[in-house]
Amino acid sequence: MPDRGYIVLFDTTLRDGGQTRGVHFSVEDKIKLTCALDEMGFEYIEGGWPGSNPKDIRYFEEMKKIPLKYARLTSFSSTRFKDTDPAQDKILAELLKAETPVFTIFGKSWDMHVYESLGTTLEENLSMIYSTIEYLKPRGEEVVYDAEHYFDGYKTNPEYAIKTLKAAADAGADWIVLCDTNGGALPEEVRTATIAAIDAVDKPVGIHTHDDGDLSLANTLVAVELGAKMVQGTVNGLGERCGNANLCSVIPALSIKLGYETLKRENIAKLTKLSHLVSELSNKPHQESLPYVGERAFTHKGGIHVSAIRKNSKLYEHIPPDSIGNQRYIPISDQAGKSNILQKASELGMKVKDAHARAIVAKVKELEAEGYHFEGADASFELLTDELTGRRREFFTVHGFRVHSWENEKGEIWSDATIKVSVPESVAGEGGHTSPFEHTVGEGAGPVEAMDRALHKALETFYPGISGIRLTDYKVRILDEEAGSTAITRVLITSSDGKRHWGTVGVSENIIEASWRALVESLEYKLKKDEEDNNG
C-alpha cells in the first residue's frame, strides 16, 4: 500500500474526554495518561482548560516538571471575552500561566451562536478570534484554532463561517481545525464544508468530530481524504454526550486500511493496551464492543465462522488482531460447532480428537439448553473436556455440605457452612495425614462466602496451594423469571490466584447449589493447573 502522507494526531482525552459523564480523572491519572500518550508517539496532547478548575491548574504546574519525549502539550481556552482587550482578559491570563508550548483556542463559526450564546455582533466575534490569536501567537510556539460548530455554521451561513476561519488564519493560527461540535453532520455535508475551508485558508486544516450521529469516524476519514492533516479525538471515544471520534478506530483505519502514516507500527500494536489503560483510569469497565480494541472485535461464536478462520483468518477478520494488540477469542456456546471445540482446545493447550470434539459439541449444546453458559467460563469447559476425554482427575470428593443462616445481635444476616470432604489415599499419605477425610465449618457474611471458606479450610489441609485463591467476581442470572422460586439460576464465578484468572459456572433451581458447583470447579481447576505446572 503506497504511503499517502503523514497525519498529525491530536489527543484530547484529558480535556474533551474528561467531560464524559461519570469520568473524573485525578491529577495523577492525567499525568500517567500524558506520559503513556507521549510514549506512544502522539504529536499533541491537550491537557485541559487552565483556570477552569483547581485540578487543571495543578496538572499544568506538575507538567512543567515533566519533560515529554515526543508530544507537545497544549492548553485549551476560548477566545477573549467580548469588548475586552486580550491583555486584560482573565481567561487568557490563566492560559498563559500554564506556559505550554501550544495554545488551543476555540471560537464561534455559527452565526446563531454569536447572537444567542455570545450575545454580540458578527463583526465583534471576528475581532475576538483575530485579536485573541494575534495576542497569543508571540507568547507561545504554536496556536491551534478550533472552529467550533463549523459545519453547522457553514450549513446556515457559509460566507460568515469562512470569514471566521480567515480571521484565525490571518491572525497567525498555525492550524485551523474544523469542528462538528454537535456531532450531527453527515459525510456529504462534511465534504462540502471541508473543501470550502481548504480552498479559503492557506493554513493546514484539521478535523474534530463528535459521535452524536454515529458518524464521527466516517466524517473524520472524509475530511482526511480531502486534505485535512490533523485529526483530533479521544481514546475509547470518550467525550461530551455520545463522545468524540475514537482514536483507537481512527488510527488503524488511517494507517492499516488507507496507508497514511500516523503512529509507528509497533505503537499501533499497543492500542488495545492504551484503550484498557484509559478504561482503568476512567474507572469504567472496558467496552467489549469497541471496534478494533474490544474483546468482541475478534470473537467468533458461530461454528461456520470458526471453521473458516481456522483455514484463513481473513475470511472473517478485516485485520489481524495482533496488529492492534488484540487477540482472537472463540467462545463455547450452543452456537458452537466442531471447529469451535478444536480451536478452543488448541488455545487451552489441550489435544482433542475429532471424535471427542463431536461428543463435546453435543454435551455443550445439551448443557446450554439446561442453562449453562460457557462464555467466560473457560475453566468449566476445560474440566468438561477432560471428563469427556477420560482425563479428568478426582482431586477430592464432597460427601455432603450444609448451610445455615441466622440474624445476629446487630441485625445482620450471617451464615455458616459445614462440609465433609475426602481426598485420595495417596494425597493424604504424601502429606502425612492420618485420615483422608476432613470435616470443617466456615462462616461468612452470606452463604457463598461461608461455603467458600469451609471448602478452603477443608482442602487446604491437603492442598496448601489453594490458599491464594480469591473470588474476584460473582454473577447471578435468573433464567426463567416467570417460574418464580423454582426458576433456574446460573452462577458465574471468576477466581484468581494472583497469576491466573479463570471462570467457572454452576446451574440449578437452587442458588446455593449453583454457587456450590461453580466454587467446587474453581478449586478443582486450580489443582489441575498446579499439577500441570509441577509436571512441567
pLDDT over 70 percentage in the chain: 97
Are 300 and 324 in the same domain? yes
Distances (CA, A) of 520 to 23, 355, 447, 516: 38, 28, 14, 6
On whether residue 273 sits in a domain, the answer given is yes
Are 187 and 258 in the same domain? yes
Tell me what pLDDT residue 334 has.
56
User: pLDDT, tens digit, for every residue of 264-316?
Assistant: 999 999 999 999 999 989 988 889 999 999 999 998 887 788 788 888 999 99
pLDDT at 345 over 80: no
Tell me what pLDDT residue 229 has.
98
On whether residue 492 sits in a domain, the answer given is no
Are 265 and 353 in the same domain? no
Sheet (strand 437-444) strand order: 397-407, 413-422, 437-444
Tell me what pLDDT residue 215 has.
98
Give the structural domain span for 402. Answer: 396-462
- Contact (CB, 8 A) for 205 and 198: yes
3-state secondary structure 207-262: EEEECCCCCHHHHHHHHHHHCCCEEEEEHHHCCCCCCECEHHHHHHHHHHHCCCEC
At residue 197's C-alpha, the angle toward residues 193 and 198, to 5°, is 120
Are 270 and 301 in the same domain? no
Instruction: Report the pLDDT averaged over residues 104-108.
Output: 98
Q: How confident is the model at residue 2 (pLDDT cuts 50, 70, 90)?
A: low
3-state helix, strand, coil in the chain (%, to 5): 45, 20, 35
Instruction: Report the pLDDT averaged over residues 208-218.
Output: 98
Are 55 and 121 in the same domain? yes
On whether residue 381 sits in a domain, the answer given is no
pLDDT at 21 over 90: yes
Tell me the pTM.
0.74
Q: How confident is the model at residue 454 (pLDDT cuts 50, 70, 90)?
A: very high
Distance, C-alpha 354 to centroid of its chain: 37
On whether residue 488 sits in a domain, the answer given is no
Among the candidates 240, 256, 282, a domain finishes at: 282
Range ranked top by mean pLDDT from 212-221, 476-485, 496-505? 212-221
Are 81 and 207 in the same domain? yes
CATH number at residue 95: 3.20.20.70
Are 83 and 232 in the same domain? yes
Tell me what pLDDT residue 373 has.
80
On whether residue 486 sits in a domain, the answer given is no
Are 191 and 311 in the same domain? no
445 C-beta neighbours (distance < 10 Å), count: 11
Beta strands (DSSP E) in 100-148 are 102-108, 142-148
| 486 compared with 372, residue with greater pLDDT | 372
Distance CA 91, CA 240 (A): 22
Are 301 and 277 in the same domain? no
Are 214 and 305 in the same domain? no
CATH number at residue 458: 3.30.160
Number of domains in the chain: 3
Among the candidates 330, 350, 368, a domain finishes at: 368
For 379, the grid coordinates are 475453566
Sheet (strand 489-496) strand order: 470-478, 489-496, 501-508
Least confident of 183-187, 208-212, 393-397, 478-482: 478-482
Nearest to 106 by CA among 16, 34, 44, 183: 16
Distance CA 493, CA 510 (A): 16
Among the candidates 253, 282, 311, a domain finishes at: 282
On whether residue 378 sits in a domain, the answer given is no
- Contact (CB, 8 A) for 233 and 252: no
Are 148 and 34 in the same domain? yes
